[in-house]
Amino acid sequence: MEDMIYTPTFGERVSHVIAVMHTVATANNCTIKATFNDYELTVTPSDDPTAILHDYNVEMDKREAQYQKSERYKQRKENFEQRKNVQRRKLELLCANYPDFRNIEATVDWLEKLSECNIIQLRDHGIVETFEANGYFIETNNCSFNINNKDTSGRWLIKQALECINNIGTVYPMFKEHAKQWKDRFGVL
């Protein structure tokens, strides 16, 4: 039988790809080929999927080690550290200048600025605790979401940002877009 080609789908793990290829190769008594991360996989019915996965991982480790020696890696790492330092300074400035928590617009604006600090962990900077001390609680449902009410929908938006800081350490990526929609809906400048 002629060789078959398997095309992995986005998000598929290499271990799953190899297992599927081996199942198909065994069922059809043929050779299956695929490309995964620019690595050519070839599987036959007599192959051991664990050994193929091991060879793949060894090759990926070699590529990673080679990449880490490259100028491109060094430059990207340096750029990342510079961005991180800029964000750290921005975070320090923001934490030294919290908004007037009685003003929902100012609080949303402050969180929008904070959302730009997306490569540093925000969880350990007392942000959630400061908001809670000023009446924005994430553990209780102290505000209901009413899209037609500026105050409750604003508090709900703030609560979502605080939950993300608490759970994943950063403001969720769509916060700025949601804040813009909230501002547009209520004519907030």
Joined tokens for residue 46: 């007599």
Q: Which residues contact 47 (CB under 8 A, 6 or more apart)?
A: 22, 25
Instruction: Kindly tell me if the per-residue pLDDT of 101 is higher than 90.
Output: yes
- For the segment 28-37, the average pLDDT, to the nearest whole number, is 96
Q: Which residues contact 29 (CB under 8 A, 6 or more apart)?
A: 1, 45
Instruction: Kindly tell me if the per-residue pLDDT of 141 is higher than 60.
Output: no
Half-sphere exposure of 144 (CA within 13 A, CB side): 2
What's the mean pLDDT when you consider all of the chain? 93
pLDDT-derived band at 129 (thresholds 50, 70, 90) equals very high
Joined tokens for residue 56: 């793949």
User: How does DSSP assign 38-104, residue by residue?
Assistant: TEEEEE-TTS-HHHHHHHHHHHHHHHHHHHHTSHHHHHHHHHHHHHHHHHHHHHHHHHHS---TT-H
- pLDDT, one tens digit per residue, over 72-99 is 999 999 999 999 999 999 999 999 999 9
Domain segments of the chain: what residues? 4-68, 72-186
For the full predicted model, state whether its pTM sits above 0.95: no
pLDDT-derived band at 140 (thresholds 50, 70, 90) equals low
- Please give the pLDDT value at position 84: 95
